Structure 1
Amino acid sequence: MTEGLEIPALEAGVVRVFSLSMDEAEAAALKGDAARLEAALGAPVEDPKWVEVLAVADLEGLGLAGYLAEGQGIAPETLAPDRARLNALEGHVMLVMSPAFGGAPVSLAPASAVTLVGVYSETRPEVRFEELPAGSTKGNLAGPGGRGPAPATGAGRWIFWGALALVLLLALGWALWGR
């Protein structure tokens, strides 16, 4: 198994960075084109909007590492070991986010012009569950007008079928005797 090139089923929150050894026109042609992205990555891309192709020169002042931190939610400490290498890249890069593959397990076999630079996980805030204040869970479930939800009984069903039967009987009686 090649590290970083195997995408497990239902992967979430991972960004893969690839450098592209291609000219501007070739890189631009990849944008949003599932067939070309599939050829470049060697695997089916279900949702091309989760693949971003950009010129590193467009990130001047921010740099690729800054873009990954600010734009993709990757913790700066996660990027720290690769910061110099990421910011030294030139030309075009391709950022491939987990949802691009639609939750399917995928083995990437990138074309020769596509080189994996790194795999980074997005920072997720810690989930904390706190007890609700004492009186906040008490209240009225009634909607506007002070009426609560209808009771869960079968009475409504019987009324509907009874009314339908009455209408059908009246229509039948009129058809047979009312002419």
Structure 2
Amino acid sequence: MTDVIFTRLTRTDAADLMDGLCDVYADAYGHVPGEDSTVKTAAFRDRATGALNARNYELVTASVDGQLVGFVFGYSLRPEREWFAGLSPQPEPGFTDERDGQRTVVLAEIEIRKVWQGRGVGHALHDEFLRGRREERATLTANPIATSTHALYEGWGWQRVGRIPGRPGAYYSDYEVFVLPLPLGGGVR
């Protein structure tokens, strides 16, 4: 992998980078025939801007020669968020308990510019972000029909736990839910 520089940033820094994050997001998805990419990018901007106020928000960027090539951001899951509401199949008792809001980190977005996809940048970004977290586990959701993405996550150690319905205004009507025990590699914190 070329000299990729990873930088851990706060919400203030992330707000200043929002246009760049939107550019990476749009590039990562490319143009889909029949789809207005500005609508999807605007929805991303709304999600990304809203996430800035989340508890323990953090952004990790990947840059090469000063050019932003990818990013990941996430935050601690609040108990009142009900992230796992409607999870099917029903999980074991206690699985959805967030207790003090420090149990689970949400990996909200991970995006890599098209030209950098398949070069290990995404996996390295993923690991860099999760190594810096103090929660017991991580969670993410994915498009229910994106089976190649599911396989990628499972290859990185994520476990599929079921499906949840999308919230009103969500891009998909339902989402696959994945979890990953932390710390990465099962080491001691």
Shared fold, TM over 0.5 = no
Please give the TM-score of this superposition, normalised by the length of structure 1: 0.25
Answer 1 or 2: which has greater helix percent: 1
User: Which one has the bigger strand percentage?
Assistant: 2
Between structure 1 and structure 2, the one with the greater Rg is 1
- Structure with the bigger RCO (C-alpha within 8 Å, sep 6+) is 1
